[in-house]
Amino acid sequence: MEARPPEPGPYAVLWAGLATFNIVSIFFLQRGQTAGVRSFIERQIWSIWTTFMAGMVLLALLNYLLGLDRFHARGGVRVFASAFSVMGALMGRVWYAAAVFFALAALGMTRVQEHAFTLLGGLWFAVQFGGGLSLHLARRRRLAARGSEARLV
């Protein structure tokens, strides 16, 4: 008898919780700021990340429908690398480092399969927290140096 992969419910709840936490934290950090016109870069970042999230959900659904184990998602880690590579093209070379880290993680996950998702989760946390913090601090420095006047991107 063929073993069926674990049910996706717990993973769906985990990812939904993380996505909710991310959205709530964005609005929490933006509270008190006046709404303005969304810049070209902001539109591109939202486009990259919504496309990325939809791609990962589709990959998980395909794995489930094909009867594959959740660990077949390792190949999807390449999607992380490509998303950060596109961000590197838009926002600066430092984001290419994240793309390289995720590409290496995809390779590393094949060597330490029992700890693959721990490796991915740790890298994901480090990149998201570090990237968000650096963007937040850069914005605070810019506003402190120039005031709150509008600027063109």
Does 1 map to a domain? no
Domain count, the chain: 1
Section 39-55 average pLDDT: 79
Confidence of residue 149 (pLDDT cuts 50, 70, 90): low
Q: Whole-model pTM above 0.75? A: no
| Position 26 in a domain | no
* CB-CB contact of 41 with 90 (8 Å): yes
Give me the pLDDT at residue 1, please: 47
Is 153 within the bounds of a domain? no
pLDDT of 147 > 70? The answer is: no
C-alpha distances in Å from residue 56, one per residue of 59, 71, 109, 126, 136: 5, 13, 17, 19, 26
Domain containing residue 134: 9-19+38-146
Considering 36-40, 47-51, 129-133, the range whose residues carry the highest mean pLDDT is 129-133
Is residue 29 one of the residues assigned to a domain? no
pLDDT at position 153 is 47
